[in-house]
Amino acid sequence: IQSIINQDFGFIDHSKGRESFIEYFREAMNESTNYRNWENAFKHFCNYAKGECCFDDITVEFCQGFLTHMLKLKTPSGGTMKASTANNNFGKLIAVIRRAVAAGRLKDNIIPFLKPAKEEKTKKREFGITKALTAVLKRDIDYQVTRSGRLIFYRRVYRQKTSCPLDSGTS
């Protein structure tokens, strides 16, 4: 009865704070149309939370710790998780938090205080003109250089078009 009265008058039911946030996350994942993407975020969150997390555990520090945890994870290639992937997973957590705030399951809206990981600027892959032309000459490929400086390759057999930006470097 107390829970109903609190809900009717807009008060937060503090017993909801001890309920499983992981189960709430699982429900959101199951309702998603992009299940595989959500499943990856859910698995990383469960790993970070060691399988136990209630609504009262959801703080700015805990959520930012989840992001930091993901950025330190090793990938199959031996590197660490890219910021864009970590931010994608972090976005799923934010979506669940937003849903929980709207449903009155969380006391505070911490979303404005959550900061995504900074993404490194990656250099576009460019080929030296010598490498590109050598590759063309070794294959059955025609090419042309456009006004914008792009090298357009044409396969003689399929007439399939691909392009590659040219830089001024030589190799």
Q: What are 92-111's pLDDT values in tens digits?
A: 999 999 999 999 999 899 99
* pLDDT value at residue 80: 92
* pLDDT value at residue 121: 72
- Paired with 154 in beta bridges are 142, 161
Quick one: CA torsion of 68, 69, 75, 79, rounded to 10 degrees?
Answer: 40
* pLDDT value at residue 18: 84
Look at residues 125, 159, 167 and name the one whose alpha carbon lies nearest to residue 143. 159
Residues 85, 104: Cα–Cα separation, whole Å: 29
The pLDDT tens digits of the residues spanning 131-161 come to 666 665 666 555 555 555 555 655 444 444 4
Residue written as token pair 């992001």:
67
* pLDDT value at residue 41: 96
Read off φ and ψ for residue 117, nearest 5 degrees: -70, 145
Predicted confidence (pLDDT) at residue 58 exceeds the cutoff of 60: yes
Mean predicted lDDT score pLDDT of the chain: 79
Give this prediction's pTM: 0.64
